[in-house]
Amino acid sequence: MNALARYQRISADRSPARFMIAKNTPVDFDRDAALSDLWKLHDDAMSQFNKSGESDWLDRLDKPNNPNKSEKPDEPCEKSLLDLKIVIADRILENCHFCDRRCGVNRRKMGTMEMREKWGQEKQGYCRAWAVSRYSSEFMHYGEEPELVPSHTVFFSGCVFSCVYCQNWEISTNPDLGMPILPEDLARIAAAKRGLGARNLNFVTPTPHLHTILRILAAMRVNTPVVWNSNMYHSIEAAKLLCGVVDVYLGDFKYGNDECAKKYSNATHYWDTVTRNFLCAYNDSEILLRQLVLPGHVECCTAPIIKWARENIPDARFNLMFQYRPTYLAYQHPEINRLLTRSEEARARELLMEAGWG
Ligand code: SF4
């Protein structure tokens, strides 16, 4: 089967992106309500969304004058499921738990550079991102998987990981780099890129910027598949907000155990977090799983990842990647301070073939 069948339909404009449906799913809520009440409304709305989201949307498209379903898809309802997700994301930002580090800091209080300096490092979250998101670049990317190119990629600044071999370390380690994002502006840029042939809108290192991404989508007037290009270390709450919004989870599955995750990315409880999020993504939408093969880590990382994925998310598209280069701080770890050998690459391919992928 085609693991990305729905994505292909959205990309060809034959189906609505999920955020378009969420934007046209009415939900009545009080934005000042308790967070627990907002979650309850969200979960009820998501049940309805999962039952009949697309068919309801298409029904309204076919019958714009239907008295029971009077909202046209291109005329957003007064309060929508997407609006509710934005309100919840804003609350999370004030006690940040977008990722599973769950720092609990109020990222709004770091409103200016002066305040950040005054507050000091200890009041910042691990990623040091504040409320205003920045991006270092946005462009038509031709180097992603064939199904995705050309892909309109938006590279956000900062990251919740600290991978010692990060190829984008200038961006990932500096959340203050790049342009501050005005969601309406980025939505306009995304619409223009879609008009130029972009097959999707691809958010890279998106996790600390979920609140901004939801706002960008709320401002979008153009149908395009949304790609969540991440390390899959988001929190369970973030995973719930992503449901009904993301069309393709372009997820890195880096490590087959917690020890390697701690050593190379300073991430704790990695396996449980990432497998939980892949399962949630699998139930929600479509997955393109990336596994960057690390030198000396075929048996401890690649093998268990392939095994788990085969058993738990068999319809995902699995992409083994062999382009590892020892960059950034990899020189401090002699065991990964080299390229892959041919035999390691062959062994990884063999594991994938044995699992029935490839
Ligand atoms: S997104 Fe940043 S501030 Fe928020 S929990 Fe993760 S590391 Fe901490």
Domain boundaries, the chain: 5-354
Rounded distance from Cα 207 to ligand 1 centre (Å)? 8
Q: Provide the pLDDT confidence category of residue 66 given band limits of 50, 70 and 90.
A: very low
Q: Provide the pLDDT confidence category of residue 110 given band limits of 50, 70 and 90.
A: low
Rounded distance from Cα 98 to ligand 1 centre (Å)? 6
pLDDT score at 148: 98
Mutate-to-test residue for ligand 1 from 97, 161, 172, highest number of ligand atoms within 8 A of CB: 97
Question: Helix, strand, or coil here: 60?
Answer: helix
| pTM metric for this prediction | 0.93
pLDDT score at 115: 66
CA-CA distance, 289 to 55, in Å (whole number)? Answer: 28
pLDDT score at 51: 87
Q: Is the pLDDT of residue 139 over 80?
A: yes
The pLDDT > 70 percentage for the chain reads 89
pLDDT score at 133: 96
pLDDT (tens digit per residue) in 315-339: 999 999 999 999 999 999 999 999 9
Q: Which two tokens stand for residue 121?
A: 């490092």
Going by C-alpha positions, the residue among 337, 258, 262 that lies closest to residue 301 is 258
Rounded distance from Cα 208 to ligand 1 centre (Å)? 6
Torsion of CA 190, 43, 31, 221, to 10 degrees: 20
Q: Provide the pLDDT confidence category of residue 52 given band limits of 50, 70 and 90.
A: confident
Q: Provide the pLDDT confidence category of residue 113 given band limits of 50, 70 and 90.
A: low
Name all residues whose Cβ lies below 6 A of ligand 1: 96-99, 101-103, 105, 125-127, 129, 160, 207-208
User: What architecture does CATH give domain 5-354?
Assistant: Alpha-Beta Barrel (3.20)
List, in order, residues 6 or more apart from 76 with CB less than 8 Å away: 23, 24
What amino acid is encoded at 303 in this protein? Answer: A
Q: Is the pLDDT of residue 65 over 70?
A: no
Q: Is the pLDDT of residue 254 over 60?
A: yes
pLDDT (tens digit per residue) in 188-245: 999 999 999 999 999 999 999 999 999 999 999 999 999 999 999 999 999 999 999 9
Q: Which two tokens stand for residue 93?
A: 């930002």
Rounded distance from Cα 209 to ligand 1 centre (Å)? 10
The pLDDT of 75-82, averaged and rounded, is 85
pLDDT score at 71: 45
As a whole number, the mean pLDDT across the chain is 92
List, in order, residues 6 or more apart from 249 with CB less than 8 Å away: 228, 230, 232, 278, 281, 285, 286, 287, 288
CA distance to 42, 124, 196, 221, per residue, from 15 (Å): 24, 41, 19, 15
Question: Helix, strand, or coil here: 353?
Answer: helix
Instruction: List the residue whose alpha carbon is closest to atom 4 of ligand 1.
Output: 96
Q: Provide the pLDDT confidence category of residue 62 given band limits of 50, 70 and 90.
A: low
Consecutive H or E run containing 6: helix 5-11
CA-CA distance, 183 to 174, in Å (whole number)? Answer: 21
CA-CA distance, 289 to 301, in Å (whole number)? Answer: 14
Residue identified by tokens 């239907």 is 66
pLDDT score at 189: 98
Consecutive H or E run containing 193: helix 183-195
Consecutive H or E run containing 136: strand 134-141
CA distance to 12, 55, 277, 307, per residue, from 281 (Å): 22, 21, 6, 18
Say if residues 238 and 210 touch (Cβ distance below 8 Å): yes
pLDDT (tens digit per residue) in 264-310: 999 999 999 999 999 999 999 999 999 999 999 999 999 999 999 99
The pLDDT of 165-182, averaged and rounded, is 93
Mutate-to-test residue for ligand 1 from 91, 96, 102, highest number of ligand atoms within 8 A of CB: 96
